[in-house]
């Protein structure tokens, strides 16, 4: 019996790289996709890891990478749409180019890779698609309006897609982690503003300080913990669609349930010093 195969996008660092390692350790074939494969090395683990160049914003690149992965491994059992980046800062100062890039990567990229893999999974009447969103795709955090919009789109897309693909034996899941102890807020975060942010300078300072404090606490999940959670979601065999991961994310969702939406949003403003 051949080993199962997972295709993962955005594997250069952080959650993506840790997820490559986790699946490989479990004996899976891993199609690790990233924009610059030559810049990253992966250990083979108990499985086989192959790197493929893939830019989720380029449809031709997506189709070629998926085609090469299928040629190499013969099948794709699990797709993890992990590629994305954070756009931080006031909406008012965001350029049209920055807004377009955020949605091309975080939303259109998910659409493109999913569309490329779907015919194969549908023909096999089997497969799992996991789209990595964020807690900010369930409860929006301040100064992440565009990032939140992109991740809310991923959540809605995933939940609706789960209904239409169930008839083909394909399970769709959406993964919403809270704070992550990676360089996401550095290397992978783009700002909508220059300098100190002008009229938003005080809010920016307060929000950045709060997020930095959160990442330094035990509430922040490590990339390895999230990789394990992704592996569990991919292999649990259930119809569960939404996975909220991390102590902080679970606490926020529980608080919303207990006190209601209005009180939760007011509490978020207070926590970030914006009340």
d(CA 42, CA 154) in angstroms, rounded, equals 28
> Would you say 47 and 28 are in contact if contact means Cβ atoms under 8 Å apart?
yes
Q: Beta strand 48-53 with 127-132: parallel, antiparallel or unpaired?
A: unpaired
d(CA 138, CA 149) in angstroms, rounded, equals 10
d(CA 88, CA 192) in angstroms, rounded, equals 6
d(CA 25, CA 2) in angstroms, rounded, equals 16
Q: How many residues does the chain have?
A: 275
> Would you say 120 and 74 are in contact if contact means Cβ atoms under 8 Å apart?
no
d(CA 59, CA 162) in angstroms, rounded, equals 23
Sole residue written with tokens 């690790």: 32
Q: Is the dihedral of CA 251, 253, 258, 262 positive or negative?
A: positive
Please state, in angstroms and as integers, the Cα–Cα distance from residue 258 to each residue in 3, 243, 269, following that order. Answer: 44, 19, 18
Write out the catalytic residue numbers.
147
Please, how many CA atoms are within 13 Å of residue 201, restricted to the half-sphere of its CB?
5
């Amino acid at each position: 019996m051949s080993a199962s195969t997972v295709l993962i996008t955005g594997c250069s660092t952080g959650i993506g790289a840790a997820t490559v390692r986790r699946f490989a350790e479990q004996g899976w074939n891993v199609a690790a996709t990233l924009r610059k494969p030559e810049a990253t090395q992966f250990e083979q683990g108990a499985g086989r890891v192959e790197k493929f160049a893939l830019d989720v914003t380029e449809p031709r690149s997506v189709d070629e990478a998926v085609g090469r992965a299928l040629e190499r491994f013969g099948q794709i059992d699990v797709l993890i749409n992990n590629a994305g980046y954070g756009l931080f800062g006031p909406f008012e100062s965001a350029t049209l180019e920055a807004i377009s890039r955020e949605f091309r990567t975080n939303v259109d990229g998910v659409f493109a890779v999913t569309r490329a893999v779907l015919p194969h999974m549908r023909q096999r009447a089997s497969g799992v698609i996991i789209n990595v969103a964020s807690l900010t795709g369930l409860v929006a955090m301040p100064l992440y309006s565009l990032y939140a919009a992109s991740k809310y789109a991923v959540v809605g897309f995933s939940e609706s897609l789960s209904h239409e693909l169930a008839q083909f034996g394909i399970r769709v899941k959406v993964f919403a982690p809270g704070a992550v102890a990676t360089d996401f807020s550095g290397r992978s975060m783009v700002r909508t503003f220059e300098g100190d942010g002008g009229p938003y300078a005080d809010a920016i300072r307060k929000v950045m300080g709060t997020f930095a404090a959160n990442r330094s606490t035990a509430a922040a999940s490590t990339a390895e913990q999230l990789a394990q959670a992704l592996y569990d979601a991919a292999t649990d065999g259930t119809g569960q669609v939404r996975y909220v991961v991390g102590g902080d994310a679970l606490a926020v969702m529980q608080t919303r349930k207990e006190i209601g939406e209005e009180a939760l949003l007011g509490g978020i403003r207070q926590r970030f010093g914006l009340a």
